A and B are shown apart, each in its own frame.
Chain A
Amino acid sequence: DTEVTQTPKHLVMGMTNKKSLKCEQHMGHRAMYWYKQKAKKPPELMFVYSYEKLSINESVPSRFSPECPNSSLLNLHLHALQPEDSALYLCASSLRTRGTSTDTQYFGPGTRLTVL
Chain B
Amino acid sequence: LAKTTQPISMDSYEGQEVNITCSHNNIATNDYITWYQQFPSQGPRFIIQGYKTKVTNEVASLFIPADRKSSTLSLPRVSLSDTAVYYCLVGGQTGANNLFFGTGTRLTVIP
Q: Interface of A with B (CB < 8 Å)?
A: 4, 31, 33, 42-45, 48, 50, 55-56, 88, 90-92, 94, 97-99, 101-110, 112
- B101–A101 contact, CB under 8 A? no
- A42–B103 contact, CB under 8 A? yes
- B49–A102 contact, CB under 8 A? yes
The answer to whether A56 and B96 touch (CB under 8 A), given A102-B34, A104-B34, is: yes
- A102–B93 contact, CB under 8 A? yes
The answer to whether A104 and B95 touch (CB under 8 A), given A42-B87, A42-B103, A110-B41, is: no
Number of CB contacts from chain A to chain B under 8 A? 62
Name which of A4, A98, A101, A105 has the most chain B CB atoms within 10 A of its CB.
A105
A74→B101 CA distance, assembly (Å): 21
- B43–A4 contact, CB under 8 A? yes
Q: Interface of B with A (CB < 8 Å)?
A: 32, 34, 41-46, 49, 51, 87, 91-97, 99-104
CB neighbours of A101 from chain B (8 A): 32, 51, 92-93
- A107–B45 contact, CB under 8 A? yes
List the 3 shortest-distance A-B pairs measured between CB atoms, nearest first.
A102-B92, A107-B43, A42-B101
- A102–B46 contact, CB under 8 A? no
- B96–A45 contact, CB under 8 A? yes
Q: What are 30 pairs between A and B in contact, CB < 8 Å?
A: A33-B96, A42-B101, A43-B44, A45-B96, A45-B99, A56-B96, A90-B44, A92-B43, A94-B96, A97-B95, A97-B96, A98-B95, A99-B93, A101-B32, A101-B51, A101-B92, A101-B93, A102-B32, A102-B34, A102-B49, A103-B92, A104-B34, A105-B46, A107-B44, A107-B45, A108-B43, A109-B41, A109-B43, A110-B41, A110-B42
